């Protein structure tokens, strides 16, 4: 079945440094890749997304890259701040038979002040 | 405006009991999704609705789980004969339209504990 793998599971960075989270997906028909941020006790919130016809997208300090050939996509956060500390999930929208969204297992990001 | 709301926020029940979890989507959103999130894991797809009909229920783990959305707005996830393994946070999300790439807005979830 469809699968999304995400790593690292935990990432600790110093404030101001960059953070990179990487994901791979299995369903070659997937063509929509959202990233979510989840804070304690809350539901996930979309922070950025990318479609398969684009290789890179940037929104202020956040950027996402996609390599469809390798089935890899990555989240880059620059100039990290303590408020970036949260769990981040990558996801892929399954292209087979519907619009199921398959999530990775998450990366817990700690930004140390 | 109001976001997605879910009630109750916490539910503790005993093994074998029946539970209902409610989701109120954002007004006007036609698509509604249910996910289950276990500790330390990402949300796991259960079912989604386009309007009143279940477009894909392939994520429901077994026939103890059922969901309805009779008027195309509020949805209820129903779990019969609960088991300890059903303990998780159940998340609901809605999106404006039923199409890939339409942003899903999540509620805060219902934490279900089966003793």
**B60: its two tokens:** 């429901």
Exposure class string for A92-106: b at 16+ Cβ within 10 A, else e? bbbbeeebbbbbbbb
- Residue B15: its pLDDT value, please? 97
- CB contacts, 8 Å: B45 with chain A: 100-103
* pLDDT range class, residue A53, cuts 50, 70, 90: confident
- The answer to whether A52 faces chain B, any CB pair under 8 Å, is no
- Residue A83: its pLDDT value, please? 96
- Residue B1: its pLDDT value, please? 57
A19-43 pLDDT, tens digit each: 999 999 998 888 889 999 999 989 9
- The answer to whether A46 faces chain B, any CB pair under 8 Å, is yes
Does the pLDDT at position A97 exceed 50? no
CA distance B13 to B58: 26
Do A30 and A107 contact (CB within 8 A), yes or no?
no
């Amino acid at each position: 079945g469809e699968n999304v793998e995400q790593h690292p599971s935990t990432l600790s960075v110093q404030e101001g440094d960059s953070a990179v989270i990487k994901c791979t997906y299995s369903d070659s028909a997937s063509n929509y890749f959202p990233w979510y941020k989840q804070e304690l006790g809350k539901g996930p919130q979309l922070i950025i997304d990318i479609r398969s016809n684009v290789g890179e997208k940037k929104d202020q300090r956040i950027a996402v890259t996609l390599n469809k050939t390798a089935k890899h996509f990555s989240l880059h956060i620059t100039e990290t701040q303590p408020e970036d500390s949260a769990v981040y999930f990558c996801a892929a929208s399954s292209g087979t038979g519907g619009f199921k969204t398959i999530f990775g297992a998450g990366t817990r990001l700690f930004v140390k002040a | 405006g109001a976001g997605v709301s879910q009630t109750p926020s916490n539910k503790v029940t005993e093994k074998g009991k029946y539970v209902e979890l409610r989701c109120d989507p954002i007004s006007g959103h036609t698509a509604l999704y249910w996910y289950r999130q276990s500790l330390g894991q990402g949300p796991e797809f259960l079912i989604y609705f386009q309007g009143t009909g279940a477009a894909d229920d392939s994520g429901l783990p077994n026939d103890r789980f059922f969901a309805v959305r009779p008027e195309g707005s509020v949805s209820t996830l129903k779990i019969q004969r609960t088991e300890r393994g059903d303990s998780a946070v159940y998340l609901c999300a809605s999106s404006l339209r039923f199409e890939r790439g339409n942003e899903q807005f999540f509620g805060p979830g219902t934490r279900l504990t089966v003793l």
